[in-house]
């Protein structure tokens, strides 16, 4: 029987609704008590669009399920948020990333890489979240601004006031913060103003429409103007084609990531990339 993806990306065995529901229940149970040996982190390069030099990476979590294979994060992260394990999983990701960045620094001493780490807004509820993040970075001997915490714009609506406070603590401590999936939520401008982030990541849905749609070009262009006015770095997400690259470059975006440059890859591959030149 072939594995397929159902509505909402749920993994199920084709033809059996009941099995699909059972699989969902099982995944929910398992993610509530995650077996961390089944998880790993892959990294996608963030490149300078003009030179294709690797300027950073984004850490992306993978769940290699022993029976179901790769379960996508869009599926299990919401489950972990609801089931209460996102905090434990989130600390494991942060700790693993810090250890990896320290290893890269030893391997390629001249390269001071910045790493984007996705955090769920639920993690920001934890007491002393900011202090613990700063301690973790220091323990691994990293510079504070080597870690960029990515928070989705959409999730901000859920608990904006607390997020503003925690982000202020993080930034006061020297950690950078990115607004992820920018353009997919509401009242984006107001958020950016009060949130005072360092980086804005322009959602893939805009990038994929750029070439065919002049309206989208205007929107992205105004987002980039605003980012410059607020002194934010901008990263275009999901660049897949040379045509998309041409447009984002013409609109003045500096940084980007996407399959055109590299898919997310293992830590060893990143180590090799750092020693080499720009991405072809």
**Which position among 44, 105, 146, 216 is part of the footprint of ligand C2E (CB under 6 A)?**
44
Any contact of residue 118 with ligand C2E (CB under 6 A)?
A: yes
As a whole number of angstroms, the distance between CA 212 and CA 215 comes to: 9
Any contact of residue 73 with ligand C2E (CB under 6 A)?
A: yes
As a whole number of angstroms, the distance between CA 61 and CA 78 comes to: 13
Any contact of residue 34 with ligand C2E (CB under 6 A)?
A: no
- Bridge partners of residue 256, in order along the sequence: 47, 236
Any contact of residue 150 with Ca ion (CB under 5 A)?
A: yes
Residues 132-135: contacts with CB under 8 Å, at least 24 apart: 132/91, 133/94, 133/170, 133/173, 133/175, 134/170, 134/173, 134/174, 134/175
To 10 degrees, what angle do helices 160-172 and 129-139 make?
Answer: 30
Looking at beta carbons only, is 16 or 33 nearer to ligand C2E?
A: 33
The helix (H) or strand (E) run that includes residue 48 is strand 39-48
Residue 46 CB, nearest approach to ligand C2E (Å):
10
Residue 152 CB, nearest approach to ligand C2E (Å):
6
Touching ligand C2E, residues 172-201 (CB under 6 A): 180-181
Any contact of residue 180 with Ca ion (CB under 5 A)?
A: yes
Cα 272 from chain centroid (whole Å) = 22
Any contact of residue 77 with ligand C2E (CB under 6 A)?
A: yes
Any contact of residue 31 with ligand C2E (CB under 6 A)?
A: no
Touching Ca ion, residues 223-242 (CB under 5 A): 237
Touching ligand C2E, residues 5-24 (CB under 6 A): none
């Amino acid at each position: 029987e072939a594995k397929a993806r159902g509505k909402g990306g749920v993994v199920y065995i084709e033809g059996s609704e009941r099995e699909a529901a059972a699989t969902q229940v099982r995944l929910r149970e398992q993610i509530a008590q995650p077996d961390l040996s089944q998880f790993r982190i892959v990294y996608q390069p963030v490149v300078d669009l003009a030179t294709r030099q690797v300027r950073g990476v984004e850490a992306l979590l993978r769940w290699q399920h022993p029976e179901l294979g790769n379960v996508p994060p869009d599926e299990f992260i919401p489950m972990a948020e609801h089931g209460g394990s996102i905090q434990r999983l989130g600390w494991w990701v942060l700790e693993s990333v810090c250890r990896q960045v320290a290893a890269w620094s030893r391997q390629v001493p001249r390269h001071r890489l910045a790493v984007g780490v996705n955090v769920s807004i639920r993690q920001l509820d934890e007491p002393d979240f900011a202090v613990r993040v700063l301690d973790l970075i220091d323990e691994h001997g990293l510079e504070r601004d080597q870690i960029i915490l990515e928070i989705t714009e959409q999730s901000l609506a859920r608990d904006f006031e607390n997020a503003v406070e925690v982000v202020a603590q993080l930034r006061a401590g020297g950690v950078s913060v990115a607004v992820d999936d920018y353009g997919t939520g509401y009242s984006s401008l107001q958020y950016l103003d009060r949130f005072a982030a360092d980086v804005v990541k322009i959602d893939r849905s805009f990038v994929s429409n750029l070439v065919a749609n002049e309206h989208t070009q205007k929107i992205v262009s105004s987002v980039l103007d605003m980012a410059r006015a607020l002194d934010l770095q901008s990263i275009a997400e999901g660049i897949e084609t040379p045509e998309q690259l041409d447009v984002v470059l013409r609109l003045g975006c500096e940084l980007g990531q996407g399959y055109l440059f590299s898919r997310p890859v293992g830590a060893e591959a990143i180590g090799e990339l750092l020693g080499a030149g720009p991405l072809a």
